[in-house]
Amino acid sequence: MDFTFTPEQDALREQARAFLAANPEPSWKELAELGWTGVSIAEEDGGAGLTFVEEAVLLEELGRALYRGPFFSTVAVTLPALPDDLRAEVAAGETSWTLAFGPLVPDLDTADRVAIVGGDGIYELEGAEREILSTTDETRPVGVVRGGDPGRRLADSGVLEEIRNRTLAALAIEACGVARRALEFGIEHASTREQFGKPIGVYQAVSHPLADAYTRLELARSLSLWAAWCVAENDEQAPIAAAAAKAFAAEAAVQVCETAIQVHGGIGFTWEHVLQRLYKRALWIESFSASSSTLRAEVAAALLDATPAASGFVQTPVSLTQGG
Amino acid sequence: MDLRDTADEAAFRGELRSWIEENLPAELQGHRGGAARFEGEAMRGWSRALHEAGYAGLTWPTEYGGSGASYTHQAIFLEEMARAEAPPHVGVIGLGMAGPTIMAHGSEEQKARYLEPILSADEIWCQGFSEPGAGSDLAAVRTSARQKNGHFVVDGQKVWSSFAHLASFCILLTRSDPESKRHAGLTYLIVDMHAPGVDVRPLTQITGEAEFNEIFFDGVEVPAENLLGEIGGGWQVAMTTLLHERGTLGFALQAALAVQVRKLAALARDRGADPLQRDRIAREWIEVQALRFTNYRALSKLVKTGVPGPEGSISKLVWSEANQRVTKLALELLGPDAALAEENAPYGGYWQHQQLRSRGNTIEAGTSEVLRNIVAERVLGLPKSR
């Protein structure tokens, strides 16, 4: 058993953090040049032939940097549905994708092409009209597609379970990146802001909520990395790990952001401070795909209700759409 | 990153699992806690069997009679023991605290005299640290050790001492310099619990059982060779003890919590749970997984670098609060039956007992308030509150 990152994975994280600090709004092409769009794509298709664990490293850093772009919708969501030639285009940075699996389509403002679930397959959607809907998190618009026709058949709908697991695990680890940065702001402020002649972090009414925020974040990160590893290894626990990670990490990120805002006092409540953006991203993650309580209902069903098989928990994929 | 057991770990786990199945006496399986389980010959026999199979003092060096195994094996051992609901070796304090402290600070004579009987369960140890006026603030200890005619004379009172009523020896933190303050002037002694002037009185707790004791010392003569470390250097020795107390403890706790959640789910299947209760059961299942993988992360870092990761510092805090919620939720599932005393209650009163016992979890071995201070100051680097 080894639950540490390799030196290469650590180096990838350092590279990502440094790059995103210097380039907060990278283009799709720039991400491709770094090799990020093709991390898990096979080497013969121009990718790096790595796994979802490396993609999780990037997703965590992208969350931390409040990245805006189609990385989530392309890499976490649509990639399993793409045939090899289209994967090669993704690795080369020529196209980005999103998948319409519910009424609200992620990253529709930036993704080049759209796939859609229909019947027993996933197809490219051609000639559809896109309407972009602004969201509370200004950096994460969604959209709706209208009309259009199914074009090339990309994959069987059997791939939806993998898509579901990747989506939930990606949102979970992204939430950890958001929460980490919010916690760092909270610690920094509590260490430097003085009131009554002392840094406010000496008061346990301030430090203990931060200790709790750290605790929730570390637990969330353990679940998210477990889920990422299960996805990478196609482990039988992937469905329940992904559900558990998303349910826990999204709530944890919201809570950590709320603690950081409270610790900051008035400044934490202003538009000017980046905390409000981290908070809105955390809330977006919590709402997207499936809420924490919906996912816990899945977990409860797996634990408490009679299931045909004793091994593995979730037998049927969770519907990614909440309405229909 | 590979979350599966290695071939070596899987072999160790498999052998251990079959060994427990074959050797654990039925009457000891599924104990519900409490002090009484440590009394009697069956527990000594079980402890001796663990020793003979090489499972006692798993991480102790072979030169001291241990197995020299890795922390990973120790973690697997704790997981499997909890999974099988097997009671621990009776020498909890000796194996986990006194033994490692003697190895680190003891003389060759002390190592030769004390270590082997800990493993074989021939001698049980207890810990004399806390006092009525020194709980979380351990540096306030007042129990005195005066030097007189080549030995120490100990006077004072210790409290919350598990196993004291069974123990042969006590690791005792004393103040040897009456003029000293705080961390200076403390001396660490090994005290014979059968020496004249030692008086052990059980403390009946909220469950009606007596797991802890008060120990009174009235002019107890302790030979000079029972000094551990230096005169006045007791604080450093005590820190070694506490470091080991919190070492791989997280694995035992997490595995025990996993068993509780498994029982909680079984209870819900037996008696039904409404949607809100189902949500909370799912929460607790998720929290146990989170705790388990957090422990794995800390352990992996310990194995790779020799230094445990900071994640490990939250284990006991998370476990104690989760165990309180789980046991309370179980009572809720029992409905009106939750009020029944154990002889009338479902499952022999298991959950009623567990719920009351769990209130101690956030107090013993570091209160949640102290643990949050540790996280805030040592992990997050916030300014010290005192």
DSSP H helices, A265-307, are 275-287, 292-304
Mutant choice from B74, B284, B286 vs A, greatest count of A C-beta within 10 A: B286
Q: Is B241 inside any structural domain?
A: no
Q: Are residues B364 and B279 in the same domain?
A: yes
What the block records as the tokens of B73 is: 């094996």
Quick check: A226 and B293 CB within 8 A? yes
Mutant choice from B2, B380, B385, B386 vs A, greatest count of A C-beta within 10 A: B380
What the block records as the tokens of B84 is: 């099988």
Quick check: B1 and A201 CB within 8 A? no
B307 pLDDT more than 90:
no
Q: Are residues B29 and B136 in the same domain?
A: no
Q: Are residues B132 and B76 in the same domain?
A: no
- Residues of B16-32 as b/e, b for ≥16 C-beta within 10 angstroms? beebbeeebeeebeeeb
Q: Are residues B225 and B256 in the same domain?
A: no
Q: Is A87 inside any structural domain?
A: no
B209, B233, B257 - which closes a domain: B233
User: If you measure CA to CA, which chain B residue comes closest to A4?
Assistant: B1
Mean pLDDT of chain B: 93
List Cα–Cα distances, A264 to A154, A184, A189, A190, in angstroms: 49, 12, 6, 8
Q: Is A285 inside any structural domain?
A: yes
Quick check: B296 and A6 CB within 8 A? no
Residue among B241, B244, B94, B249 nearest B173 (CA): B241
Q: Are residues B140 and B183 in the same domain?
A: yes
With beta carbons under 8 A apart, name residues in chain B contacting A208.
369, 372, 376
With beta carbons under 8 A apart, name residues in chain A contacting B292.
222
CA-CA distance, A113 to B331, in Å (whole number)? 54
CA-CA distance, A140 to A108, in Å (whole number)? 9
Q: For residue A174, what is the domain's CATH number?
A: 1.20.140.10
Quick check: B382 and A190 CB within 8 A? yes
The pLDDT of residue A322 is 30
- Whether ipTM exceeds 0.90: yes
Q: How confident is the model at residue B136 (pLDDT cuts 50, 70, 90)?
A: confident
Q: For residue B275, what is the domain's CATH number?
A: 1.20.140.10
Q: How distant is the Cα of B13 from the closest Cα of chain A, in angstroms? A: 12
What the block records as the tokens of A153 is: 């058949």
Q: Is A286 inside any structural domain?
A: yes
The pLDDT of residue B38 is 77
Identify which of B273, B300, B311 has the shortest CB distance to residue A218: B311
CA-CA distance, B177 to B197, in Å (whole number)? 21
Q: Over the stretch B162-196, which tens digit does the pLDDT of each residue have? A: 999 999 999 999 999 999 988 999 999 999 999 99
- Average the pLDDT over A88-97 and give the result: 98
Q: How distant is the Cα of B151 from the closest Cα of chain A, in angstroms? A: 44
Would you give the distance in Å from CA B101 to the centre of its chain? 15
Q: Are residues B186 and B76 in the same domain?
A: no
Quick check: A296 and B380 CB within 8 A? no
Residue among B1, B37, B3, B18 nearest B210 (CA): B37
Q: Is B176 inside any structural domain?
A: yes
Q: How confident is the model at residue A292 (pLDDT cuts 50, 70, 90)?
A: very high
Q: Are residues B154 and B79 in the same domain?
A: no
B233, B257, B283 - which closes a domain: B233
Q: Are residues B47 and B137 in the same domain?
A: no
User: If you measure CA to CA, which chain A residue comes closest to B278?
Assistant: A300
- From the candidates B9, B245, B311, B332, give the one annotated as an active-site residue: B245
At residue B359, the 3 state secondary structure works out as coil
Q: Is A138 inside any structural domain?
A: no
CA-CA distance, B314 to B310, in Å (whole number)? 8
Q: How distant is the Cα of B260 from the closest Cα of chain A, in angstroms? A: 14
Instruction: Using the structure block, give the residue that is written with the tokens 């959950």.
Output: B351
Q: How confident is the model at residue B248 (pLDDT cuts 50, 70, 90)?
A: low
With beta carbons under 8 A apart, name residues in chain A contacting B278.
296-297, 300, 304
Q: Is B384 inside any structural domain?
A: no
Q: In total, how many domains does chain B have?
A: 3
Quick check: A244 and B269 CB within 8 A? no
Q: For residue B81, what is the domain's CATH number?
A: 1.10.540.10
Identify which of A1, A187, A220 has the shortest CB distance to residue B296: A1
Q: How distant is the Cα of B367 from the closest Cα of chain A, in angstroms? A: 13
Q: Is A114 inside any structural domain?
A: no
Query: B186 has which bridge partners?
Result: B175, B233
Q: In total, how many domains does chain A have?
A: 1
Q: Is B116 inside any structural domain?
A: no
- Average the pLDDT over A209-214 and give the result: 98
- Indicate the DSSP class of residue B12: H
Angle between helices B275-305 and A238-264 (to 10 degrees): 90
Which DSSP string do the residues of B56-114 spell out, in sequence order? TTTTS-GGGTS----HHHHHHHHHHHHHTTPPPPS-HHIIIIIHHHHHHH--HHHHHHH
What the block records as the tokens of B149 is: 């005619």
Print the domain residue range for B60: 7-90
The pLDDT of residue A311 is 34
Q: Are residues B72 and B14 in the same domain?
A: yes
Quick check: B314 and A218 CB within 8 A? yes
Q: Is B137 inside any structural domain?
A: yes
Q: Is B238 inside any structural domain?
A: no
Quick check: A304 and B294 CB within 8 A? no
Longest pairwise C-alpha distance within chain A:
68
Q: How much is the pTM?
A: 0.94
Q: Are residues B283 and B348 in the same domain?
A: yes
B386 pLDDT more than 80:
no
Q: Is B262 inside any structural domain?
A: yes
Quick check: B286 and A247 CB within 8 A? yes
Q: Is B20 inside any structural domain?
A: yes
Quick check: B385 and A5 CB within 8 A? no
With beta carbons under 8 A apart, name residues in chain B contacting A223.
286, 289-290, 293
Say whether B245 is catalytic: yes
Print the domain residue range for A218: 160-304
Q: How distant is the Cα of A83 from the closest Cα of chain B, in angstroms? A: 28
Q: Is A149 inside any structural domain?
A: no
Q: Over the stretch B203-223, which tens digit does the pLDDT of each residue have? A: 999 999 888 999 999 999 999
B71, B90, B109 - which closes a domain: B90
Q: Is A201 inside any structural domain?
A: yes
Strands A194-195 and B151-158, by their bridges, are unpaired
Yes or no: say if A111 and A142 are a contact pair by the CB < 8 Å rule: no
Q: Are residues B202 and B284 in the same domain?
A: no
Q: Is A238 inside any structural domain?
A: yes
Q: Over the stretch A156-177, which tens digit does the pLDDT of each residue have? A: 999 999 999 999 999 999 999 9
